[in-house]
Amino acid sequence: MDDTRLPELGPDIWEASLQTFTTVAIALFFGVLLGTFLGLVLYTTRAGGIFANRPVFVVLNFLVNFFRPIPFIIFIGAVQPLARIVVGTGFGIRAATFALALAAGFFISRVVEQNLFSVDPGVIEAARAMGASRIRVVATVLIPEGLGPLILGYTFAFVAIVDASAIAGVVGGGGLGSFALRYGFRQYDPIVTWATVLILIALVQLGQLLGNVLARRIMRR
């Protein structure tokens, strides 16, 4: 225990944690917005969907399949030029957050699409039979009926975002990932490494708990 620098790194670990929290929170927020939109488009435009549109579906399906499997450590570098245009810089926490939000969007689009399959197509048909417009059906039937599973899906995505956020250090994005690498792994200080692990576990557990409680409330069981 004498050879760990953990006690003196207190302020740094706190700062790294804050960076991870903000990066994850912002990426989750924008990822959910983008992913939900893309997921809804995927779900409703596929054959038999209420906005069935083959060209739109095929193009979007290809885009999502193209970007989603790129390992985040490569993705973050690959979208650097785009980050410069959108957030004004290719480095630091802003670029890292941008890349993370974008990757999360593609990831969440699939999660949303798949969770919407749990919505009974019968209720969509019933609403249509009542004379509701298609956009109204999406807003007032599809989303509310699928909300429970969607929240579980977002929670799943949250854990994946926390995981990917550790790579933010690649573009100087800071956070617990680069902290653990710099002060734990490279300094042969496993105590520091494990301290960050504990913080991340706490973060993931907290998020998972929140998601489960919310989903259960909405699904009422």
Partner 1 sequence: MALVEFRGVRKVFEPTKRGEKPVVAIDGVDLDVEKGEIFGIVGYSGAGKSTLVRLVNALETATEGTIVVNGREITGLGERELRKVRLDIGMIFQQFNLFSSSTVYHNILYPLQVAGVPKAERHGRIAELLSFVGLLDKAKHYPDQLSGGQKQRVGIARALATNPALLLADESTSALDPETTQEVLALLQRVNTELGITIMLITHEMDVIRTIAHKVAVMENGRIVEQGPVFDLFSDPQADATRRFVSTLVEQGPAPRTLEHLRERHRGRFVTIALREGSVPQSELFAELVAREVRFELVHGGIEDVQGRTFGNLTLALEGDPAQVEAAVAALRTKVDLTEVD
Which residues make up the interface to partner 1 (CB under 8 A)? 47, 120, 122-123, 125-134, 136, 140-141, 144-145, 147-148, 218-221
Helix 143-165, helix 10-45: angle, nearest 10? 140
Complex with partner 1: residue 125 or 185, whichever CB lies closer: 125
Question: In angstroms, what is the minimal distance from the CB of 158 to partner 1?
Answer: 22
Q: Where are the alpha helices (DSSP H) in the chain?
A: 10-45, 54-67, 72-78, 80-87, 92-116, 121-129, 134-137, 143-165, 175-179, 190-219
| Long-range contacts, 120-123 (Cβ 8 Å, 24+) | 120/145
Q: Which two tokens stand for residue 73?
A: 């450590």
CB 184 within 8 A of CB 192: yes
Q: How many CA atoms lie within 13 A of 94 on its CB side?
A: 10
Complex with partner 1: residue 50 or 60, whichever CB lies closer: 50
CB 191 within 8 A of CB 20: no
Complex with partner 1: residue 139 or 206, whichever CB lies closer: 139
Question: In angstroms, what is the minimal distance from the CB of 140 to partner 1?
Answer: 8
Question: Exposure string (b/e) for 23-32, b if CB count within 10 Å is 16 or more?
Answer: bbebbbebbb
Complex with partner 1: residue 5 or 216, whichever CB lies closer: 216
Question: In angstroms, what is the minimal distance from the CB of 117 to partner 1?
Answer: 15
Question: In angstroms, what is the minimal distance from the CB of 138 to partner 1?
Answer: 14
Complex with partner 1: residue 68 or 128, whichever CB lies closer: 128
Complex with partner 1: residue 119 or 200, whichever CB lies closer: 119
CB 176 within 8 A of CB 192: no
Distance between CA atoms of residues 129 and 125, nearest Å: 6
Question: In angstroms, what is the minimal distance from the CB of 221 to partner 1?
Answer: 8
Question: In angstroms, what is the minimal distance from the CB of 111 to partner 1?
Answer: 19
